[in-house]
């Protein structure tokens, strides 16, 4: 191991407590997509203090940023942080099911957790920067703040606006909970296509729904209230999408779409038809062609629902994300560093916390409660082999994420380090709060952060100091794209360069001191705060 990598990994070791403290800050902020105000500001302030030049609101996204540290001439390397949480997943860092102090259980919480994703990448970037300063290494490290990953909404925008075009290489990291994708790097099968859009229905002319009576135009019979309003249009649209699912998507392989109703009716329930309803869909599938076909079907359904209810409809794009492009050179080099660091290991204190969770769920506590795979490495080629056994032969991708945007602009690796997961007795499935809690408890999440940060730091240092490695990675990128950016096999960004992120829609938002009604608490009012 080179002295540069030894220094970088030692930096992470010396800053373990600091990384742990930083993670607690972001984990407890737990701000949802497009509303990561505190989290983004925290990263920006810290990176500026570390000597990075920061562009705030990069790509026109208020909670995004682009931070760069430069020392002389050399390669420009990138990694990134995500920091959005998920509404309805508020869980305390404890061994029982309970929300964080003072919050409704319907407030946001970190699930993957993106809090640890970002702090791991930050630790790696800062360790590499410290190594550059210590040894006078030449080059640049760029750290992106990527909000709203749960909507796949930032990286396609950064890509479309050219933020990735000048990168020499990039590292994408994610905590993992999917077997066999544990403590490895992605080989051939990357994440797939994601489309997201919002359909809005408006009831513009309810007075024209039925013929007026002799008292018209006096609305004493509340004729307009009888008109099907925007909620009716949304319900019909939703029902059409569900009933036509089997006709739209294949029976096997990767595909899904999930919906979230952003607003319904504007609370106009007093003899007025609902005037506005909005529903967001996120589509995951295996090809752009498939995504376009499904999107056209949904457009047809929206038009039909609007016509049947006398409403108007509008479609607003949230994201269009490409499938991932492999880079074996990057995957192998990063895995080699991961192997040198070793898989996360959970000590007796962490194991006792896990046992307490098991006992609180009425289960017999296990001597070794963590899933063995979380503490073991798997080579990327073997991981690929095992994963393909579970997939149809024709399927190109697995699940979705918007990191593939990087892969079409520079050699990119997908690093996967195991988050804490518990072994389960036969027939037992752990509730979601368990993994959410484990992602916030220091003793259970910190080992993953340390391993990921060391691996990222070591790989960044390799790319700064090993010219042959970087050249090989870039040569593979050029070959796979048929000439690099703009090549014959290159996929251009799917969004236009002037795309504006729909940041101002009614995304879930939790404001300090906001009153949040918990419908499961017999009308009790819970006071929400950040």
- Model pLDDT for residues 500-530, shown as the tens digit of each residue: 999 888 777 655 544 344 444 333 333 333 3
Q: What is the pLDDT of residue 177?
A: 86
170: buried, middle or exposed (CB in 10 Å: 19+, 13-18, 0-12)?
buried
Q: What is the pLDDT of residue 475?
A: 98
| SS3 at position 197 | strand
Instruction: Assign domain 194-321 to its CATH architecture.
Output: 2-Layer Sandwich (3.30)
d(CA 311, CA 275): 9
What would the pLDDT profile of 267-285 be if each residue is shown by its tens digit?
Answer: 666 778 889 999 999 999 9
Across-strand partners of 71? 139
Residue closest to 219 by CA, chosen among 231, 232, 210:
210
d(CA 224, CA 36): 40
> For each successive 10 residues of the chain (530 residues), what is the average pLDDT?
96 98 97 95 98 97 97 97 96 97 93 97 98 98 97 96 98 94 97 96 86 57 79 96 79 77 77 90 91 92 96 96 97 98 98 98 96 97 95 89 97 98 94 97 98 98 98 98 98 96 79 43 33
d(CA 317, CA 450): 37
Sign of CA dihedral 68, 72, 78, 80: negative
- Cβ atoms within 10 Å, residue 313: 22
d(CA 404, CA 494): 12
Q: What is the pLDDT of residue 331?
A: 98
d(CA 91, CA 511): 18
What would the pLDDT profile of 172-181 be if each residue is shown by its tens digit?
Answer: 999 998 899 9
Across-strand partners of 269? none
Q: What is the pLDDT of residue 265?
A: 79
**Topology adopted by domain 3-190+323-481:** Aminopeptidase (3.40.630)
Q: What is the pLDDT of residue 1?
A: 83
Crossing angle of the two packed helices 114-135 and 37-49, in degrees rounded to 10: 10
Crossing angle of the two packed helices 16-29 and 442-465, in degrees rounded to 10: 110
Q: Give me the residue spans of the domains in the chain.
A: 3-190+323-481, 194-321
Sign of CA dihedral 249, 251, 254, 257: positive
């Amino acid at each position: 191991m080179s002295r540069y990598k030894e220094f970088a990994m030692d930096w992470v070791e010396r800053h373990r407590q600091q990384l742990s403290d930083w993670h607690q800050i972001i984990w407890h902020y737990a701000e949802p997509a497009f509303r990561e105000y505190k989290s983004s500001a925290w990263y920006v302030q810290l990176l500026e203090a570390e000597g990075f030049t920061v562009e705030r609101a990069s790509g026109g996204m208020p909670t995004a940023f682009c931070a760069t540290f430069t020392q002389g001439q050399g390669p420009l390397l990138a990694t990134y942080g995500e920091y959005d949480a998920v509404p309805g997943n508020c869980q305390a860092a404890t061994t029982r099911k309970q929300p964080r102090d003072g919050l409704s259980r319907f407030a946001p919480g970190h699930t993957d957790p993106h809090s640890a994703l970002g702090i791991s990448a930050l630790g790696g970037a800062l360790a590499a920067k410290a190594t550059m300063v210590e040894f006078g290494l030449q080059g640049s490290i760029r750290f992106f703040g990527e909000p709203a990953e749960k909507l796949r909404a930032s990286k396609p925008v950064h890509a479309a606006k050219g933020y990735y075009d000048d990168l020499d290489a990039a590292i994408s990291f994610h905590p993992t909970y999917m077997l066999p994708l544990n403590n490895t790097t992605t080989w051939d099968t990357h994440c797939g296509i994601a489309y997201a859009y919002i359909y809005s229905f408006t009831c513009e002319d309810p007075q024209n729904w039925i013929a007026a009576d002799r008292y018209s135009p006096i609305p004493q019979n509340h004729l307009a209230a009888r008109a099907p309003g925007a909620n009716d249009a949304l319900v019909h649209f939703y029902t059409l999408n569900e009933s036509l699912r089997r006709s739209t998507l294949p029976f096997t392989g990767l595909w899904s779409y999930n919906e979230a109703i952003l607003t319904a009716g504007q609370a106009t329930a007093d003899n007025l038809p609902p005037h506005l309803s909005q529903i967001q869909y996120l589509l995951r599938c295996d090809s752009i062609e498939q995504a376009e076909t499904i999107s056209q079907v949904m457009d047809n359904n929206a038009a039909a629902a609007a016509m049947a209810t006398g409403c108007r409809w509008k479609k607003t794009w949230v994201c269009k994300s490409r499938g991932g492009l492999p880079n074996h050179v990057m995957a192998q080099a990063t895995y080699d560093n991961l192997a040198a660091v070793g898989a996360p290991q959970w000590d007796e204190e962490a194991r006792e916390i896990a046992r307490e969770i098991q006992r609180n769920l009425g289960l017999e506590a296990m001597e070794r409660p963590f899933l063995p795979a979380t503490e073991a490495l798997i080579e990327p080629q073997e991981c690929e082999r095992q994963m393909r056994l579970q997939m149809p032969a024709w399927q190109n991708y697995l699940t979705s994420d918007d990191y593939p945007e990087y892969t079409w602009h520079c050699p990119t690796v997908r690093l996967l380090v195991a988050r804490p997961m518990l072994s389960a007795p036969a027939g037992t499935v752990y509730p979601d709060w368990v993994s959410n809690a484990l992602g916030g408890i220091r003793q259970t999440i910190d080992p993953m952060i340390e391993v990921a940060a060391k691996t990222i730091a070591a790989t960044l240092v390799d790319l700064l100091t090993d010219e042959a490695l970087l050249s090989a990675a870039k040569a593979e990128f050029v070959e796979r794209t048929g000439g690099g950016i703009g090549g014959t096999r290159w996929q251009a960004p799917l969004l236009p360069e002037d795309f504006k992120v729909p940041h101002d829609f009614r995304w879930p938002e939790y404001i300090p001191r906001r009153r949040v009604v918990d419908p499961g608490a017999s009308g009790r009012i819970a006071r929400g705060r950040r």
